[in-house]
Structure 1
Amino acid sequence: MKATINDQPRVTATDSAIALIEEIRRDHPDILFHQSGGCCDGSSPMCYPAGDFVVADHDVKLGEIAGVPVYISATQFEAWKHTQLIIDVVPGRGGMFSLDNGREKRFLTRSRLFAAAT
């Protein structure tokens, strides 16, 4: 799996998301993201301390944002493989187990189809 499609990263982040990542890393220096597949917290990008989340053999690493790895399950990757994920921040409460919870802002995944090669 390539980390880019037509020289576009599979995952990127807004400035707001990068600022929240930096805020979280002051308390938890080693973190990772896993794109949730639905269940308890919808389809939010979940942010975990790296040592508290076991990346499964079937998880796919999409890339990194602000030096933080971003993973997605293989089945969800298959459905979204033509889509660039854009991690953003909106007001609200984060997922119950995500490190953005309690900060009155939460991560949100936006997406767009990859542009065709020119």
Structure 2
Amino acid sequence: MSDAPPRALITRAAAELLSTLQQRHGALMFHQSGGCCDGSSPMCYPDGDFVVGDRDILLGLLDVTGDKQPDGVPIWISGPQFDAWKHTQLVIDLVPGRGGGFSLEAPEGMRFLSRGRAFTEQENLQLTALPPVTGAQYANGTRPPGPRGEVVAEAADVCAIPIR
């Protein structure tokens, strides 16, 4: 096991809603939207409802749902978007508002929100030793060897939130 940091984390509030959604919908997945219609939100779908492309990148598997999804909840991002974000840890948070598009939290009056923290130079070196898993590799049974996404109390615990 590597000392590299996980590429994705989730806040406690987001994990609690994710667990509720999983009770209703079964196994879930996230895809980090690249813009266009859904802005740049992490979109939550029933696992398999969003077709993962061969070149999409698995950011991580979130350890939030116990026996419902023992492998964890996968978080995907497109290959080109990963190239732009690979130096950033994604933190899925939860805020009041309407979820985007067909994301499962839309009717809840809350929405998942992506926050980010730039990896340190040392963390980037550690992550270089752990090449990400592509959609094609995942479909063939490959799982990431690195750390799994954890639940953090608040996004501010891992990344600064601007004060207005």
Of residues 10, 13, 33 in structure 2, which corresponds to 1:13?
10
- Read off the aligned partner of 1:106 and give its amino acid letter: R
Q: How well do the aligned residues superpose, as a CA RMSD in angstroms?
A: 1.4
- Read off the aligned partner of 2:14 and give its amino acid letter: A
CA distance in 1, matches of 2:48, 2:7: 24
What corresponds to 1:109 in structure 2?
114
CA distance in 2, matches of 1:87, 1:44: 9
CA distance in 1, matches of 2:8, 2:57: 12
Using structure 1 for the length normalisation, give the TM-score: 0.91
What corresponds to 1:80 in structure 2?
85
The 4+ residue runs of structure 1 with deviation greater than 3 A are none
After TM superposition, give the deviation of residue 47 of structure 1 in Å: 0.4
Of residues 45, 49, 57 in structure 1, which corresponds to 2:54?
57
Unaligned runs of 5+ in 2: 65-71, 124-164
Mean Cα displacement is larger for which, 46-55 or 70-79? 46-55
CA distance in 2, matches of 1:78, 1:96: 24
Structure whose residues are more often strand by fraction = 1
CA distance in 1, matches of 2:48, 2:56: 16
Higher gyration radius (CA) = 2
CA distance in 2, matches of 1:115, 1:100: 32
CA distance in 2, matches of 1:60, 1:77: 7
Measured against aligned partners, the alpha-carbon deviations of 1:38-73 in whole angstroms (never above 9, x if no partner) come to: 011100000011131111011000101222000000
How many percent identity over aligned positions?
55
* Structure number with higher relative contact order (C-alpha < 8 Å, ≥ 6 residues apart): 2
CA distance in 2, matches of 1:77, 1:117: 19
What corresponds to 2:102 in structure 1?
97
- Read off the aligned partner of 2:92 and give its amino acid letter: I
